[in-house]
Amino acid sequence: MIEVSETEEVKEQEEITRELKEETKDIKPSDKIEFDNDELSKVMAEMKRLLLEGQTDKGHNTNVRKQTVIRLLHDYLVKKLKEKTGFKLREECKEKDMVFIDTEVKIPGFHKVKNVDIAIVHKRAGPLLLISVKSLMSSITNNFTNVYEEAIGDAISLHERYPYLIYGYVIIFPTEVLIRDETFNLDYYEGFLRKINKRIDEQDKDKKYERVSMVVSDFKAEPPKLTSKHPSDKDLRIETFIHDICEMLKERYEMLKIIKY
């Protein structure tokens, strides 16, 4: 019997490592990105404008349904991810580039394909980091349970398929609904989000995310701004979200030398 010293899987992993080292040698990501509250405030001001503009007499919001409101937060996160990692969008990449940032992607889960907002993908190894971006701007009490259950289902499905995946979840709430009076308890929702935050490693619970961010905006302020009261848990704050998930990416895939900072 011939004794094989290396499996094909190990050889492929070593080849991917060599490709990543070659690809990232010229990447120059930001060493440190200070959180710019004014920049996010401008994003929320534009979100407010679209929320007011899209409201109809029938009670629904056309801009929320078309996802033009949440798209602003989505684009902000993509910009910050590019600055932090130094990676380019897929359409900006050259043929030789193996790692890229993609948006509105379909990722095969354990049971079915999942639609994910933002991804860092390796052409051969698959998704390394994903971010889902959600909003609850009205009918919050009625909709939170469905949104929460969907979040857990997505985390389980994708972590079962990709145990080492870094998965982030960002959800934005208003302190008060802009158009009509609604009563809701942000502390209550924060408690539930805390339960699915901070998945430590591949052996931790699949239903948890590596990092959850609960963004709470006072849209009635001029300009709109983040609140200091919610969330009270610093590990749910947006201010450190990008930094945290990129550090996790660096640590979990350290052997691949993907990110240099």
Q: How far apart are CA 78 and CA 104, in angstroms?
A: 11
The tens digit of pLDDT for each residue in 47-104 reads 999 888 877 766 677 777 778 889 999 999 999 999 999 899 988 888 777 889 999 9
Mode of pairing for the β-strands spanning 113-122 and 99-108: antiparallel
Name the pLDDT band for 135 (thresholds 50, 70, 90): very high
Return the amino acid letter for 250: K
Query: Among 110, 118, 114, which Cα is nearest to 79's?
Result: 118
pLDDT at 32: 46
Q: pLDDT tens for residues 152-184?
A: 999 999 999 999 999 999 999 999 998 788 889
Please, are residues 195 and 233 in contact by the beta-carbon 8 Å criterion? no
**In this structure, are strands 166-174 and 126-135 parallel, antiparallel, or unpaired?**
parallel
**pLDDT for position 55:** 76
Q: How far apart are CA 209 and CA 6, in angstroms?
A: 34
More confident residue, 18 or 241: 241
pLDDT the model gives residue 28: 45
CA distance 194 to 62: 31
> Per residue in 200-255, pLDDT tens?
999 999 999 999 999 999 999 999 999 999 999 999 999 999 999 999 998 888 76
Own/partner pairs for 87-96, CB < 8 Å, 24+ apart? 87/27, 87/120, 90/121, 96/23
Q: What average pLDDT does the segment 194-201 reach?
A: 96
Q: How far apart are CA 137 and CA 133, in angstroms?
A: 13
User: Which amino acid is located at 22 in the chain?
Assistant: E
Residue-level pLDDT at 181: 83
Burial class (CB in 10 A: 0-12, 13-18, 19+), 254: exposed
pLDDT value, residue 10: 47
Long-range Cβ contacts of 174-178 (<8 Å, 24+ apart): 174/137, 174/216, 174/217, 174/218, 174/219, 175/216, 175/217, 175/218, 175/219, 175/220, 175/227, 175/230, 176/218, 176/219, 176/220, 177/137, 177/138, 177/140, 178/48, 178/51, 178/52, 178/137, 178/219, 178/220
The answer to whether the CB of 95 falls within 8 A of the CB of 133 is: no
Note the pTM of the prediction, 2 decimals. Answer: 0.84
The structure tokens listed for 51 are 């929320």
